[in-house]
């Protein structure tokens, strides 16, 4: 018999497939309705809004007592509140800047938290149609096939993913970012920047990258990646080395605790305003 979590997963998966088709149809179309949000590099398109509406409408019609934290709903002024109730944490287009430019690292990211723990996640990369998924205790999958982190334990053997967008428009952070990139480049095999937190986390789950670090992102960027990385055998922690807090806007995920702590020890610890502030 289907468990509750399996029921939630099949509904969310069906809606994600519909939403992924919208991204495939539009990513290279001439006309995109684009607006800026908090600053001049922070975009929203009508596709972000349409997909968030499609997902929330579809899920709430099946599960009327569930709660939602969505990127675009929150941007419109609704407070992000994580309670113990089942809460879908949704980024309809993670990598909106990529989408705007037609750079294909674009994801749909959906996590379901129960008792404040993410227990189910889906990351779709519509181009070229990669579907990452995980349910607590059942492993992580890419297009239905099991995936595992690399197991890398030392930065000297690692490919690192990071994003520096927290420094956009914040001149005092530019120098810190330069130092960070230099440190990573000197110590690791290489550094990659995909432009999407969900994409980075899915890549760690897959074993394609060994570690991903970012400060300044949001619960909707990390929720699905959190469970997918953990179910793939990886770790998700706060960059200080403490417990991961989904509302804190801070994350390191890695193929091993050794690597996560090593990278955490090299980064500048700053604390942006929380998602639930
Ligand atoms: C993006 C994140 C990315 C971060 C960007 C932005 P969005 O999410 O995935 O990691 O560097 O600033 O937050 O806004 O495209 O959903």
231 CB less than 6 Å from ligand 1?
A: no
CA of 3 from ligand 1 middle (Å) equals 33
203 pLDDT higher than 80: yes
- Provide the pLDDT confidence category of residue 41 given band limits of 50, 70 and 90: confident
What's residue 229's pLDDT?
A: 98
**Digit-coded pLDDT (tens) for 76-133:** 889 999 999 999 999 999 999 999 999 999 999 999 999 999 999 999 999 999 999 9
Best residue among 40, 160, 163 to mutate for probing ligand 1's pocket (most ligand atoms within 8 Å of CB) is 163
Cα–Cα distance measured from residue 53 to residue 64, given in angstroms and rounded to the nearest whole number:
15
Which residue in the block uniquely carries the two structure tokens 């091993």?
256
119 touches 227 (CB < 8 A): yes
Cα within 13 Å of Cα(176), Cβ side: 16
Ligand 1, residue 168: give the atom nearest the CA.
Answer: 12
**Digit-coded pLDDT (tens) for 60-92:** 999 999 999 999 899 888 999 999 999 999 999
26 touches 47 (CB < 8 A): yes
Helix (H) or strand (E) holding 124: strand 117-125
Interface pTM, i.e. ipTM:
0.96
Global pTM value: 0.96
């Amino acid at each position: 018999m289907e468990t509750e979590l399996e029921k939630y997963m099949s509904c969310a998966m069906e809606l994600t497939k519909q939403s992924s088709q919208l991204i495939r149809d539009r990513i290279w179309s001439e006309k995109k309705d684009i607006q800026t949000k908090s600053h001049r590099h922070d975009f929203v398109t009508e596709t972000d809004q349409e997909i968030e509406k499609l997902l929330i409408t579809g899920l709430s019609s099946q599960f009327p007592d569930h709660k939602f934290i969505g990127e675009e709903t929150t941007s419109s002024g609704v407070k992000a509140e994580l309670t113990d109730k089942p809460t879908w944490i949704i980024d309809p287009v993670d990598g909106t800047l990529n989408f705007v430019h037609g750079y294909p690292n674009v994801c749909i990211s959906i996590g379901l938290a129960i008792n404040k723990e993410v227990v189910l996640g889906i990351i779709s990369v519509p181009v070229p149609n990669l579907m990452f998924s995980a349910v607590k205790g059942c492993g992580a999958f890419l297009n239905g096939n099991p995936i595992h982190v690399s197991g890398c334990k030392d930065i000297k053997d690692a490919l690192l993913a990071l994003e520096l967008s927290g420094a956009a428009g914040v001149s005092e952070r530019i120098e810190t970012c330069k130092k960070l990139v230099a440190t990573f480049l000197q110590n690791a095999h290489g550094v990659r920047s995909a432009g999407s937190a969900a994409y980075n986390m899915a890549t760690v789950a897959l074993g394609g990258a060994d570690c991903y670090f970012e400060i300044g992102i949001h619960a909707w960027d990390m929720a699905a990646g959190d469970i997918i990385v953990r179910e793939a055998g990886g770790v998700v922690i706060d960059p200080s080395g403490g417990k991961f807090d989904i509302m804190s806007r801070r994350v390191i995920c890695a193929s091993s605790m050794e690597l996560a702590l090593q990278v955490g020890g090299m980064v500048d610890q700053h604390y942006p305003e929380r998602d639930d502030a």
